Chain A
Amino acid sequence: MSERIIRKQEIVDDPWQVLRLTSGESAETVPLPAGPVLLPLAVWLARRDEALRRYEQPGVWLDSDEGPEMLADDCRRFAVIGINFPKFTDGRGYSSARLLRERYHYAGEIRAIGDVLQDQLFLMQRCGIDAYAVRADKDIEQALAGLRAFSENYQAAADQPLPLFRRRAKHAA
C-alpha cells in the first residue's frame, strides 16, 4: 500500500502508514502492524522497546495536544515524525514542528497528517514540516502551489534562521 504525499516540493508515492487507535483499542494491546508505520505517541511511550526491536526505522505521530518534549531526546531515533492537525484551524502543530526543529534539532522528516490543506502548506513549511499528507479528497497537484505562496518573509523560523531585518541590513551594507 502506498499513498501520494508531497515531500519537499514533489509529489511522491510513500509507503508509511499511520496507526490510529480506534475506540476500544488500547496503546498497550493494539497489534503493531508491519512497518513502516507512524505509531501514536501513546503506543510509543507504552511499548518503546518492543517498537525498537520490531522496526528498523521507527516512526511516531504527535496529536495537537502532544508536545515534542514528550519525545525529547528520543526524537533522533525516528525517520519520520508525524504531526496531526485534527482540524486545519488547530494551530498547535506549528509550535510542535518549530520546537522539534529548533529546540530538539530533529533533522528527519516531519510530516503533516490529518486536515492538511493547500492554504496551510506554506506556514507548515516555514515551521519545519517538510512532508504533507494532503487530505485525500483534495487535489494534491493543485495543493502543491500552496508551498509557493510567498517569496519572502519577515520572521525567522525553521526554514530561515534570520529575520528579514537582519537580511535587509545586509542588503544595505
Chain B
Amino acid sequence: MYRYDSIDQQIIDERVAQYRDQIARHLAGDLSTDELRPLRLQNGLYIQRHGPMLRIAIPYGMLAATQLRKLAEISQRYDRGVGHFTTRQNMQLNWPQLEQTPAILGELARVEMHAVQTSGNCIRNITTDQFAGVAPDELTDPRPYCELLRQWSTFHPEFAFLPRKFKIAVNAAATDRAVIRAHDIGLELLRDEGGEIGVRIFVGGGLGRTPILGKVIREFLPRRHLLSYLEAILRVYNRYGRRDNMYKARIKILVQALGIDDFRRQVEAEWAHLKDGPTTVPDTEFARIAAHFAPPAWENLPAVDELHAARVAGDLAFANWVRRCVHPHRTPGYAAVTLSLKAPGAAPGDISDTQMLVVADLADRFSFGELRVTHEQNVVLADVRLRDLHEVWQIARRHRLATANIGLLTDIICCPGGDLCALANARSVPIADAVNEKFDDLDYLFDIGDISLNISGCMNSCGHHHVANIGILGVDKNDEEWYQITVGGQQGNAAAIGKVIGPSFHAHEVPLVIEALVTVYVEQRLPSERFIDTLQRVGIEPFKARAYAGRDRRRGARQENREVVNV
C-alpha cells in the first residue's frame, strides 16, 4: 500500500500542529464555536448526541495491520474500546474528549493516518472496491488512482469551502463494488481501443433526501487529464452550486437544474483552459504511485488445494462460511476473505479493540499485513492462501468475526442512528437487531440468498437505504419512531433507487414487514432468481399487498405520509 515519503509526512504533521492550535485558540476564546465548526469538521470532528465523534480517514479502505493496532490502542486510551466502520470506509470513534482530539491526531500521524476532510464541505475520502488489486474481474488496480486523487484533494486551496460535501468513488472492475453512481463523481476506469487507460466520468449522483444516480459527463477521458478535468468540474460547482439552501447545495442539484448537457458544456469550456497544463499527470507519476501497490509476494500455488477441499467437504459450518465469506482471487491458490462485522446482536460495522487486534494479527499472519474496510461495513483480508482458510476461520470464529452472512439478509448496512447521532429521526441499530432475531436460522438465510437490506436513521441516508433491495428509513412522527420501507434499490452496475411501498410502519412492525416481503419472494421466485429479480419480474404490488395485509389488526395503521422523500 502507499507509504508516505518525508513530504507526505511533513504535511500531515503540520496539519496536526494547525489543528492543535485551532483547538487551543478555541479553548482560549479566540475562535468562536461557529468559527471552529467548519475547521473541526474538516478534521473529522462532529459534536453529537453524547459529545464529540471523531471520524478517522481510511483512504480507499486500505489499512496496514500496524495502523489497525494503533486504532485499537486509541480506542482503548481515548474512547470506549470500540470503533465503527462507515459506508465510506472510514472509522468513527463515538466517545473522545474534545481536548484530547489533538493528541489522537498526533498518534494517528505516527502511523501515516489522519482525519483530514472526513467531513465538511470539501472533497471527502475517496472510496473504491474492497477487492482492488486481487479481483479477477478487474481491468487495473484502482488504488493508484485513488491515491493520486487523495493527494490532489488534500488541502486543495480552491475547494475547501464548497457549497456542500463532495464524494468521489472509483471502480476498475467489471462489477461495480463501489456504488460509483451514488457519488458526486463516479469514476470508472476503462481501456480504449488503443489500449490506453482512461476514465468514464459520472457526475451528480448522491443519496440524501434527493437520491439521484450520476450521469455520464465524459465517456472516455485519457487518464493523464483526470485531475485537470476534475478541477474543471469542481470549479464550475464551486462557483455556481447553490449556497442559499443546504438541501439544494449538492452538485446533483446543479446538474439537474442545468441538465447534464449544459453542465457538460460549462465544464468543457472551463477545461479548455486547464487541459494540458501542469496538472496533467505524467505516466511516471502513475508508475511511482502504482509501485506502492505492487502485488505482494504471492507464492506459486496450485489452483486447487486438496486439504482445503477436504475440509470444505467434511465440515458444513466451514463450508457455509467459505460459501459466503470467501471470494475469488486473481492468483491461483489464494482467496479474499470477508470478516463479517454483522454477528447477531452486534451493531453493524462496530469492531471492538480486541477484535481489531485479532484482525491485525490475522492480517500479519495470513495476508501480508494488510486489510481493507468495505463500504458494507465489514473487513477484508485480501490475500489468504486457500490452505490457511480453515485456520483463519477458526480464529475469526472465536472472536465473532466469522458469521457466514456476507451478502445475505443480515449483512445489514446500518448507520449509528438515534442511539448516537444527533440528526437521527429514529434508532437504526435496534431494527437491525430485530431483523436478526426474526431471521436467526442460517439455513433460511441461505435459502433466501443474495439480498441487501440497509437502514438509515434519517433521510441523510448514511446507511445507503436508497440503494438496497429493501431499504429502511427512520422517520419521526410525534416523537415516535416510524420507518418507511423502500424496495427495488440496487447497488452495482444496475444501480437503482428503491421505491417507497407506502405509509410508514411502527418499529415493532418492521421485522414482520421484512418477513412478509421475503415470503412473497420465496413463494414466487423461479429457480435461480434472486429477490431483486423476482421483484423486477412480478412488480412491486404483491410485495406491497403482503406488507400491509392485516395491518389494521396490528397497531397504528397510518394513512398520511408526509415524509416520503424520494418522490
Contacts and interface: CB of A to CB of B under 8 A. Distances in A.
Interface of A: 67, 88-92, 94-95, 98, 103, 117, 119-120, 122-124, 126-127, 138-139, 142, 145, 149-157, 161-166, 168-169
A168 B7 contact: yes
26 contacts: A88-B35, A88-B38, A89-B38, A89-B161, A91-B121, A94-B157, A94-B158, A117-B35, A119-B22, A119-B35, A123-B155, A123-B158, A150-B11, A152-B7, A153-B155, A154-B151, A155-B152, A155-B156, A157-B157, A163-B278, A163-B279, A165-B282, A166-B278, A168-B288, A169-B284, A169-B288
Interface string B18-35: 100110010000110001
B7 A95 contact: no
Contacts of A164: 7, 151
B287 to A, nearest CB: 10
B159 A91 contact: yes
Given A91-B162, A152-B7, A164-B7, A169 B285 contact: yes
A127 B158 CA distance: 7
Interface string B221-236: 0000001000000010
A90 B164 CA distance: 10
Interface in B272-286: 273, 277-279, 281-282, 284-285
Contacts of A153: 11, 155, 157
Contacts of A103: 273
A138 B32 CA distance: 11
Contact of B152 (A127, A138, A154, A162): A154
B555 interface: no
Contacts of A95: 158, 235, 238-239
Contacts of B161: 88-91, 94, 120
Contacts of A139: 30
B39 interface: yes
B192 to A, nearest CB: 23
What size tier do the contact residues of chain B reach?
Answer: 35 or more
Given A89-B121, A117-B35, A165 B14 contact: no
B250 to A, nearest CB: 15
A127 B38 CA distance: 19
Given A92-B239, A152-B11, 20 more contacts: A67-B239, A88-B35, A88-B161, A89-B161, A90-B243, A92-B243, A95-B235, A120-B161, A123-B160, A127-B158, A138-B30, A152-B10, A154-B11, A155-B279, A157-B158, A163-B227, A163-B278, A165-B281, A168-B5, A169-B284
A55 B36 CA distance: 40
Given A92-B239, A117-B35, A119-B39, A165 B156 contact: no
A98 B157 CA distance: 10
Interface in B151-173: 151-152, 154-163
A154 B154 contact: yes
Of A88, A91, A94, A117, the most chain B CB neighbours within 10 A belong to A91
B399 to A, nearest CB: 39
Contacts of B151: 154, 164-165
Contacts of B154: 154
Nearest to A145: B21
Contacts of A150: 11, 14-15, 18, 155
A153 B154 CA distance: 9
Contacts of A92: 238-239, 243
Nearest to A149: B18
A95 B31 CA distance: 26
Interface string B125-169: 000000000000000000000000001101111111111000000
Contacts of A162: 278
Contacts of A123: 155, 157-158, 160
Given A90-B243, A95-B238, A156 B7 contact: no
A156 B279 contact: yes
A138 B29 CA distance: 11
A89 B159 CA distance: 11
A90 B241 CA distance: 11
Given A94-B161, A98-B158, A151-B14, A169 B238 contact: no
Of A95, A98, A155, the most chain B CB neighbours within 10 A belong to A155
Contacts of A120: 161
B536 to A, nearest CB: 43
B10 A151 contact: yes
A107 B404 CA distance: 64
Contacts of B227: 163
A145 B155 CA distance: 17
A169 B155 contact: no
Contacts of B14: 149-151
Q: Which 10 A-B pairs have the closest CB atoms?
A: A91-B161, A126-B157, A123-B157, A165-B285, A94-B158, A154-B151, A156-B278, A150-B14, A149-B18, A95-B238
B278 A91 contact: no
Nearest to A154: B151
A124 B160 CA distance: 11
Contact of B160 (A91, A151, A156, A169): A91
Interface in B295-341: none
A169 B282 contact: yes
A109 to B, nearest CB: 18
A126 B160 CA distance: 12
B492 to A, nearest CB: 32
Nearest to A98: B158
A127 B157 CA distance: 7
Contacts of B39: 119
B238 to A, nearest CB: 5
Of B243, B281, B282, the most chain A CB neighbours within 10 A belong to B243
Contacts of A166: 278, 282
